[in-house]
Amino acid sequence: MKLGKLIVVVLVAVLAMTGSVEAKEAKDYKAVLVLPGPINDQSWNATNYSGLLACNEQLGTNIEYIENVQQSDFESTFRNYGERGYDLVIAAGTQFDNAAETIAPMYEGTHYLIVNGAKTNGKNLTGVTIREWESGYLAGVLAGLSTESGIIGEMGGFPNPLMIDTLNGVTAGAKSVNPNFKKAIRAYANSWSDIAKGKEIGVSMVEGGADVLFAYANQAGLGTLTAAQEAGKKFIGFASNQNDTDPAMIPGSVIYKYDQLYLYVVGEFVKGALKADIVTSGLSEGIIEVIFSESATQEMKDAVAKAQEGILSGSIPKPEGEE
């Protein structure tokens, strides 16, 4: 064998061996999910945790999780996992965007994935964003057909752009099905965990005439749900299925199928195909679903189906509203 051919053969063999050493199975990646609240909040954190479980069960990953991480600890938490050589750090919520943007460039061997994130650096920071106005609109349809006073209450965690889009969607959805709709009382808890504040806001909304409440504020939203329950008012479930809390009070829940979302993005990461970009999803990707309770009327089911068709066809555009 000539020397040139021998060198080529040896190089091919070495490269093949190197590839086999570096290739990882799903279970071998060091990954963690960072949550701003507890996994049993019946809302945002529980929904994201369901995505983790789906990945570990169906993809064979071993994603860990840490819950109740406070905003003051976001950067140190990201830095900690970067220092420890984690391959993938997932964080649930747009509130993690700034910390990820700061820390990601320091640890290029770690991919930071922000669910509901809106930032990327083109290298190792990915944002996965749901078109939440779509889910908000469907929740609004349920609220509009549930109110008798024509007044609904909308409580959000923080007034960030995605939250404002969601609540604008709720208002637009309610208006679209109820000619007697008067107004939406909107407020923010400025917290994801203050249950007492959520309840206080809910009570204030009821006192202001709202007979249907909507909340998207993780744990804080449970306080708003309690306020509706104690006042004998309706409540629209959101993010996760809250119907079982009180099916007579909750005609339906608009849920996020985060198991499917996580399976997709984590699967892309495992394959080495996850891009450092902004990934959007919603109804057309099968991520949003409405689950009706036994108290939902046929009118509600028909109206939701019609709204879904309108969103998918583009005849219902993203609503304008508060900025």
Answer yes or no: are the C-beta atoms of 177 and 145 closer than 8 Å: yes
Name the CATH superfamily housing domain 132-255+293-313.
Answer: Response regulator (3.40.50.2300)
How far is residue 58's CA from residue 312's CA, in Å, rounded to a whole number? 29
Sheet holding 288-292, edge to edge: 183-188, 151-156, 212-216, 234-239, 252-256, 288-292
Each domain of the chain, given as residue ranges in start order, spans 25-130+258-285, 132-255+293-313
What is residue 32's predicted lDDT score, i.e. its pLDDT? 99
Cα dist from 245 to 109, 171, 220, 292, whole Å: 43, 24, 16, 13
What is residue 43's predicted lDDT score, i.e. its pLDDT? 83
Tens of pLDDT along 188-239?
999 988 999 999 999 999 999 999 999 999 889 999 999 999 999 999 999 8
What is residue 320's predicted lDDT score, i.e. its pLDDT? 84
14: which residues sit within 8 A by CB, 6+ positions away? none
Residue 173 has pLDDT above 80, yes or no: yes
Alpha-carbon Rg for the chain in angstroms: 22
What is residue 218's predicted lDDT score, i.e. its pLDDT? 87
* Interval 299-316 mean pLDDT: 98
Residue 253 has pLDDT above 60, yes or no: yes
Report the share of the chain in percent with pLDDT over 90: 85
Average pLDDT for the chain: 92
Tens of pLDDT along 6-19?
333 333 333 333 33
Report the share of the chain in percent with pLDDT over 70: 92
Q: What is the pTM of this model?
A: 0.80
How far is residue 230's CA from residue 254's CA, in Å, rounded to a whole number? 22
Burial class (CB in 10 A: 0-12, 13-18, 19+), 233: buried
Class of domain 25-130+258-285: alpha beta
Structure tokens given for 210:
């709202």
Provide the residue type at 195 as one letter: I
Sheet holding 278-281, edge to edge: 64-66, 31-34, 88-92, 111-115, 125-130, 278-281
